[in-house]
Structure 1
Amino acid sequence: MSQWTVEGPDRITIEETVRTLQVRTIDGTVNVVAAEGPARLEVTELKGEPLHVTLVDGVLTVTYKDLSSWNEFGDVLKSVESVKGFFSSFKRKRTAAVTVTVPAGTEVKVGTVSAATTVSGFSEHVSTQTANADITLVGLTGRTDANTVTGDVDAQSVAGQLRLNTVSGRLTVLAGTAEKVSANAVTGAVTLDLAAATPAQIKVNTVSGAVGVRLPPLTDTKVEAGTTSGDLSSGFEELTVAGNWGTKRLSGQLGDGSGSLSVTTVSGAVTVLQRPEAEDDTRAARELPAPDLTKSDTPGTGPDLTKEA
């Protein structure tokens, strides 16, 4: 076992093999980057208690000594009320700006209360959770899970399997190529810009959050979308809207229907559009979440996907 105590800005190089990374912090920022070479930890800001760093059997942990275990910490982040109670148990505020560099094949687990998190470049399982901070995921190819209470989640060029959950945050996928996508929100809006060349399995659930989906032009997807009081619209001639009173459904088959898109919402609007061919993904990343595409200031309103790229 190796251990370090970080009491201020510091840099640590870890020569031993790291197979799993766990980061648990309160406020500040957490950046986890995949790169070759030995693992490296850089702390550029630290206020409050010192960070406790350990390496045991290939598991590198960066946290505070009095923070709970990973499972207990996850339970704390399930509601705003539980987070407030968690904060009250500390004598003083804690802020840390942490950057960890580990090999791309490392399993990554990050849990924060209000620290913004960015994870990029990994091929193994990535799990992130926070209460009221944003999560950014870039270039991941394994299984990816992201959970927030009020924070937004932005996933860019993420493949593999992607599962996103929030209460009131916004969920956005840009140039997504994941084979399986699951997005769940209560009042948060869900925007999926999908670029997979092969059929994918996509499932979206919201209560009042708007849902916007862009599919590749030659997609093979069976579409089933339903809403009780929201609007339905589509850019595909093959998709039709049925029902006037109560539940309305948008359904149809694109191509051979080997993939699937299932959307369920109570009062949220649902829009399914065609992604332009050979679209510049960098430009798409700029345009889709831009504030000027939001039609209103109503919470949970997503970007206007009817605007052509």
Structure 2
Amino acid sequence: LVGTHAVIQQDVELPALGLAVVDEQHRFGVRQRGRTLTGGEDGVPPHLLVMSATPIPRSLALTLCGDLDLSLIDELPAGRTPIETRLVPPKGLGEVHAAIRAEAAAGRRTYVVYPVIEETEGQDLKAAQSEYERLAAGPLAGLRVGLLHGRLKPAEKARAMEAFATGELQVLVATTVVEVGLDVPEATVMVIHHPDRFGLAQLHQLRGRVGRGAHASRCWLAPEGWLPDETLERLRLFCRTHDGFLLAEEDLRRRGPGDVLGVRQHGAPSFRLANPLRDGDLVEACREDVDALIAADPALEDPAHAPLARALARDHGRILAAAVG
């Protein structure tokens, strides 16, 4: 069974589920992914494989803490080359538009991404709808420009994606709806406006929409106005590396691991005794001790383990009860 979020709703029962594969793992919530573990036969949870080019902080922390086994693909598919990525100031957009025209003349295609669909009062952000109209009538006049965002009807979205894939459209102005699911080898340029409004994982996913063929590809980040030093450094890091796992580690460092016993996918954990990035050896040693303890006394009935049992009940009793139930 292949499906979307709809196959893991509470009213869907899969009693003989033996293997669940969650692709683009960062697009699912903790509870949604947890439901994939409740459909096993005879109460036995199914095997679970989660995949992502950029793990969210909580999942990376679980991996580093030993709660998830890791398989890492650290090379590009055959025939692909790294994507040139750089920051472009507002005065450099003329160069970007000229490059888009040159790529279109060569039979290749461009994504132009904005963080919002429409302009709103109080937000100084360029929007996909108005910029689509401006680009089609101005800097990109004469090119076949289309629009794609989440408010379009399903048939309209499908039509826009098909037109871009076949070359009927040369430029696709869009929101992050293009983040996953589009595979167009002829797409060689990605322009991301207001990149400071996106997380590292989103930026990496958007960049991954180009460079899927044999042609050299480029990703341009087009911020507007002044940005804090920390934001600039984050964007410069993104320009320097194409390694999604390194970007995920940076996301973990900046945003925190979330709650590995709860549902928060980033932020400070409820307690922290070690840094999963820095203290990997210590975390692994603790993991081995925990495995040995659970094997010997899974219910913590030994009087020597009473303080630990009380601490777990006090701090995490609700979560543990839900897991057992």
Answer whether TM exceeds 0.5 for this pair. Answer: no
User: Which has the bigger relative contact order, CA under 8 A and spacing at least 6?
Assistant: 2
Bigger proportion of residues as helix: 2
Bigger proportion of residues as strand: 1
- Please report the TM-score for the alignment, with normalisation by the length of structure 2: 0.26
Higher gyration radius (CA): 2
